[in-house]
Structure 1
């Protein structure tokens, strides 16, 4: 990841929407009606652009190859066509059917297919193009991951980048917090952790402890920036228990899938990271790369609620499906918003992976 370059970049924002007078409170909880301005802005932003990432979130949808296009069928009727020429990533959420002929076409064109579980929005599998042919890249990664000094160097870079992003975000949101003093206290704790990142000694355990303490402080302050009616009091997942955590989890999952694709195209091993220790089934390198991207994602989620693009009425929870999740109609609004936001982030994400690759190949200081 590009260290100083990453830290100087502003956190991502949605396409600008026209300012409007806030609608009056509605309902006993004082909830406000959704404001669709950012959705319209996102759709205008994407209109006429080539579709590079396609999201399929339709129950029992069937995907077929149709010449040079991907056709979507529901109930035997064709409901959509996406040209495969510019497509680079197909994200399938929930139940969908596709035949091997389509998989062959997608593989020939270098399109990554990500399968995300419909209930908990977890990345279940990735069908990616063949790994980069230069095995020396993976050997360089394994050597660095086996060297305690280089592992700590890289882990410190990841933690520093993430903490700098958290500090920048909380400074931006502090005027909007319900209790500004809580944000000030959190900022002091995160800044203290950030100052200690560069100290020597303690190894990975110390760095992980600093990152964990800073994350706890961050979410204590972050929750102060949302309406109490959303019930957001802490970070929770698997399953998320409130609307903010639900949107955070979905956004994190999509970002994770994007980084799995980038790492695969670069030819690195997604399972071998630096800050995140080896664990069966965990893509530790991808987790490392996602950490500095989280503050921008958290700003994106905050803005969606702040602008009332989503309210608690867009979410469902119940005994049949534990946790809190976006309703179907709300998900159809979320994907274009995410895509418009992610489009502005992908160059940074790609450069982060390339900077890591250069560091590995040069065997020098962390980028």
Structure 2
């Protein structure tokens, strides 16, 4: 089990010998060797002992912190040692539109292709009306894809990405039961259950992408497509773009289509954190689906091999590092 999710509110995680122990009200709810922990995801009110934190740093285990509703808070990572040359080259590539723009184009080209294919796969099980709506959306997206390579700058590229997203989520809207009230992608805050589930899933994916960016030594806050802003891991957001449809959308939509979510899995909040959010049962169901999807072996065109989606994200991060260092001629986005 490479990724451990700590979601039980009030739990305490500590180190006992070479084992990770998680307890709640004197009951042991997890006992496993620390050597098997690749990443720790802490959600909400879960405490970590100082000894455990120290050991996780020694083992270079990535630890990500989220609110109980899935909002990313930050992470505990070991020092980025030995990556000065890579990060220096990253700054140079970022500052040169002739080298930065092609990387961003490839990422968005792959995202649009994956959105189009995901929508087609989801619609295949629906009726003729659903399939016709999905076909209209995918045709629109195909036209936008053909324009991406001609984008002159990042602003025009972001415009194409936004137009593609509007067509894609419009098509997704036609697939999902109207009773869930999904009218397109909205997330600040999520106004309905579908957006709540998408936001939670994207947060999990962002955590994975950020972990991989840190692993290979790139600066996660300096991206090629997303604007640079305070506390925004722009490069991790860049990396996750091509994986949003195949990791998150491909599991969230079926959870609604197969009635695996109920109204009790969501809660509407007001006050400081307004919006609709997943609660414990829904979170667990989505986390299970997410981990299953990330472990699914799929074909990886760049290396012409079959491997887990989680490893493909890592390979794409390493591929990007090779492009930045000049060891690969150009970036090739992942298309499922």
Same-fold call, TM > 0.5? yes
Find the aligned partners of 1:233 and 1:366 in 2 and give their Cα distance: 34
- Secondary structure (helix, strand or coil) at the match of 2:223 reads coil
For 2:315, which of 329, 338, 351 is the aligned residue? 351
Deviation of 1:214 after TM superposition, in Å, equals: 0.5
The answer to whether residue 146 in structure 2 is matched with residue 195 in structure 1 is yes
In the alignment, does 2:238 pair up with 1:277? no
Query: Across the two proteins, how many residue pairs are aligned to each other?
Result: 315
Alignment of 1:222-237 (within 5 A): 222-237=172-187
CA distance in 2, matches of 1:187, 1:331: 30
Contact 2:10 2:45 in 1 (8 A): yes
Q: Tell me, what secondary structure is at the counterpart of 2:250? A: helix
Deviation at 1:318, TM superposition (A): 4.2
Q: What is the aligned partner in structure 1 of residue 301 from structure 2?
A: none
CA displacement 1:265-285 (0-9 Å, x = unmatched)? 111000111111211111110
Unpaired segments of 5 or more residues in structure 2? Answer: 297-308
Equivalent residue for 1:84, pick from 1, 13, 34: 34
Contact 1:182 1:220 in 2 (8 A): no
Match of 2:113 among 164, 186, 190: 164
Work out whether residues 57 and 94 of structure 1, in 8 Å CA contact, stay in contact via their aligned partners in 2: yes
**Aligned with 2:209 (options 259, 276, 287):** 259
Contact 2:119 2:172 in 1 (8 A): yes
Task: Find the aligned partners of 1:210 and 1:223 in 2 and give their Cα distance.
Answer: 20
Q: Tell me, yes or no, if the aligned pair for 2:212 and 2:317 is still in contact at 8 Å.
A: yes
Q: Residue 322 of structure 1: CA displacement?
A: 2.8
| 2-structure distance, mates of 1:264, 1:117 | 21
Q: Which residue of 283, 290, 301 corresponds with 1:331?
A: 283
Which SS does the other structure have where 1:280 is aligned? Answer: coil
The alignment yields a C-alpha RMSD, in angstroms, of: 1.7
> Is the 8 Å Cα contact of residues 222 and 228 (structure 2) preserved in structure 1?
yes
1:335, distance to aligned residue in structure 2 (A): 2.4
Deviation at 1:185, TM superposition (A): 2.7
1:115 positional shift = 0.3
- Which structure is richer in relative contact order (CA contacts within 8 A, separation 6 or more)? 1
1:336–1:82 distance in 2 versus 1, CA, 3 Å: farther
Ranges in structure 1 where 5+ consecutive residues have no aligned partner: 1-50
SS at match of 2:47: strand
Q: Deviations over 1:149-168 (max 9, x none)?
A: 11111111111010110111
SS at match of 1:232: coil
TM-score norm. by structure 2 comes to: 0.89
1:322 paired residue number: 274
Looking at structure 2, the residues matched to 281 and 52 of structure 1 have their Cα atoms a distance apart, in angstroms, of 27
Does 2:97 correspond to 1:148? yes
Give a deviation string over 1:54-84, Cα, whole Å, max 9, x none. 1011111111111111111212443321321
